[in-house]
């Protein structure tokens, strides 16, 4: 396996306040690997505050881990310099939640697309630059003649988000991190944007880390899934298996809380929602303890990952009859 991306036991702790020394563990000992030769779509799912954006920021190199290492093509990304750093900046692209955020309202779309072409010297002439833009826009299902020359406010949210994907595609990325890319887009347009992402993976060989709080979209787009809760991996595996037969009470809660149009199965139990302020940590124990309908005494010690299927494991003592799998072997659970 030639590794494109590897998270090796990555932890991120944010400290706030010099005096009170409050700290938040946004990500705790998370490991994953993506293979360069087999582009795939991996979903990272969880509610707000579970550490998803932190994971994206870490992998883009915007922030550094407090512990552990992130490798891109075998190199620690915090140590990339010169040419290597430039390659990393080009090959690893992002699409964020707000389709408006990257647009300057005073410039046409052309400007947004020209900047990366110039920065990374992707074209020698103006004509070549225009070809590149048209190619990228067409690849995401937009008609260049509808888009070029327009200002951001003249476009729909769905068009803007597709332009963001086109902008990333211009750079011929190997890895795209999409952080809740459809959560601010009208429901009617979500499917087409997700389809666009899937085509990038299929037709252009781009691996995608798809970040979402919405398991319905995960189910439609991804091959594998990692479910986070308050920075900790709760469940990981094949997306079909995890969503149809979730094994962690937290994954069940997530699945229970959405209306499923195409899955008839419902879980009888439903974990009560608890206010954030009522959540106490019980030291190192399971982060889900306070909300879990199955909480037991032993959950006050950190639950290992138990592997119930070749492509499914859950960090929960309900499954302690199954063999343990080390957190840094999570990639074995993720089909490509
Ligand atoms: P998500 O994207 O899943 O909503 P985040 O990664 O944004 O989660 O946040 C994870 C946790 O880290 C949250 O508790 C959040 O409040 C905290 N956090 C995020 N960014 C910062 C920061 N810059 N400083 C301090 N705490 C932060
Ligand atoms: Mg977020």
18-40 tens-digit pLDDT:
776 788 999 999 999 999 999 99
In this model, does residue 278 exceed pLDDT 60? no
Strands (E), the chain: 3-16, 22-35, 41-45, 67-72, 75-76, 92-95, 175-179, 207-212, 224-229, 232-238, 305-309, 312-314, 324-325
Comparison of pLDDT for 57 and 266, the residue scoring more? 57
- Whether 182 maps to a domain, the answer reads yes
Ligand of minimum distance to the alpha carbon of 231: 1
- What does the pLDDT read at residue 261? 59
| Residue 234: pLDDT band with limits 50, 70, 90 | very high
How much is the mean pLDDT over the chain? 89
In this model, does residue 183 exceed pLDDT 90? no
Question: Please, which residues bridge with residue 70 across strands?
Answer: 7
- Whether 187 maps to a domain, the answer reads yes
Proportion of the chain above pLDDT 70, given as a percent: 92
- Whether 143 maps to a domain, the answer reads no
- What does the pLDDT read at residue 269? 38
DSSP annotation of 25 reads E
In this model, does residue 190 exceed pLDDT 90? no
* Pairing between β-strand 224-229 and β-strand 207-212 as defined by DSSP bridges: unpaired
Q: Domain containing 313: what range?
A: 3-105+174-333
Q: Cα of 46 to ligand 1 centre, how many Å? A: 13
In this model, does residue 85 exceed pLDDT 70? yes
Ligand of minimum distance to the alpha carbon of 27: 1
Average pLDDT rounded to a whole number, residues 176-199: 88
Q: In 3-state terms, what secondary structure has residue 115?
A: helix
- Whether 257 maps to a domain, the answer reads yes
CB neighbourhood size of 17 (10 A): 8
In this model, does residue 277 exceed pLDDT 90? no
C-beta 16 within 6 A of ligand 1: yes
- Whether 85 maps to a domain, the answer reads yes
| Residue 126: pLDDT band with limits 50, 70, 90 | very high
Average pLDDT rounded to a whole number, residues 249-262: 81
Number of structural domains found in the chain: 1
> Which protein residue's CA is at the shortest distance from atom 24 of ligand 1?
14
In this model, does residue 10 exceed pLDDT 90? yes
Q: Cα of 16 to ligand 1 centre, how many Å? A: 12
Of 145, 151, 143, give the one whose Cα is nearest residue 108: 151
- Whether 217 maps to a domain, the answer reads yes
C-beta 58 within 6 A of ligand 1: no
DSSP string computed for 193-233: HHHHHHHHHHHH--EEEEEES-HHHHHHH-SEEEEEETTEE
- Whether 150 maps to a domain, the answer reads no
Phi, psi at residue 280, to the nearest 5°?
Answer: -110, 160
C-beta 183 within 6 A of ligand 1: no
Average pLDDT rounded to a whole number, residues 181-210: 89
In this model, does residue 97 exceed pLDDT 60? yes
Q: What CATH number did the domain enclosing 210 receive?
A: 3.40.50.300
Average pLDDT rounded to a whole number, residues 298-320: 96
- What does the pLDDT read at residue 280? 52
């Amino acid at each position: 396996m030639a590794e494109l991306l590897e998270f090796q036991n990555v932890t991120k702790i944010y400290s706030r306040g010099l005096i009170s020394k409050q700290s938040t563990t946004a990500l705790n000992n998370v490991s994953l690997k993506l293979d360069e030769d087999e582009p795939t779509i991996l979903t990272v799912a969880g509610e707000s505050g579970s550490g998803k954006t932190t994971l994206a920021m870490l992998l883009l190199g915007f922030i550094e881990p407090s512990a552990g290492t992130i490798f891109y093509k075998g190199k620690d990304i915090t140590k990339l310099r010169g040419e290597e750093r430039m390659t990393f900046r080009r090959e690893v692209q992002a699409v964020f939640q707000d389709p408006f955020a990257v647009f300057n309202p005073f410039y046409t779309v052309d400007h947004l697309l020209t900047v990366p072409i110039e920065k990374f010297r992707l074209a020698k002439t103006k004509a070549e630059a225009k070809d590149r833009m048209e190619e990228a826009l067409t690849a995401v299902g937009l008609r260049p003649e509808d888009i070029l020359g327009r200002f951001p406010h003249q476009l729909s949210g769905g068009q803007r988000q597709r332009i963001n994907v086109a902008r990333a595609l211009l750079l011929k990325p190997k890895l795209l991190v999409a952080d809740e890319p459809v959560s601010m887009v009208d429901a009617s347009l979500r499917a087409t944007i997700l389809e666009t992402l899937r085509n990038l993976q299929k037709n252009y060989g781009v691996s995608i880390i798809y970040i979402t709080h919405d398991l319905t979209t995960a189910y439609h787009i991804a091959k594998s899934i990692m479910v986070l809760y308050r920075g900790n991996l709760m469940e990981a595996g094949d997306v079909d298996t995890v969503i149809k037969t979730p094994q962690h009470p937290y994954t069940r809660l997530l699945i229970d809380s959405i209306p499923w149009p195409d899955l008839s199965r419902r879980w009888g139990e439903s974990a009560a929602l608890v206010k954030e302020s009522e959540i106490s940590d019980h030291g190192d124990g399971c982060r889900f303890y306070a909300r879990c309908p199955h909480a037991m005494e032993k959950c006050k010690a950190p639950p290992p990952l138990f592997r119930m299927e070749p492509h499914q494991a859950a960090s929960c003592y309900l499954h302690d009859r199954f063999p343990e799998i080390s957190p840094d072997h999570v990639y074995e659970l993720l089909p490509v």
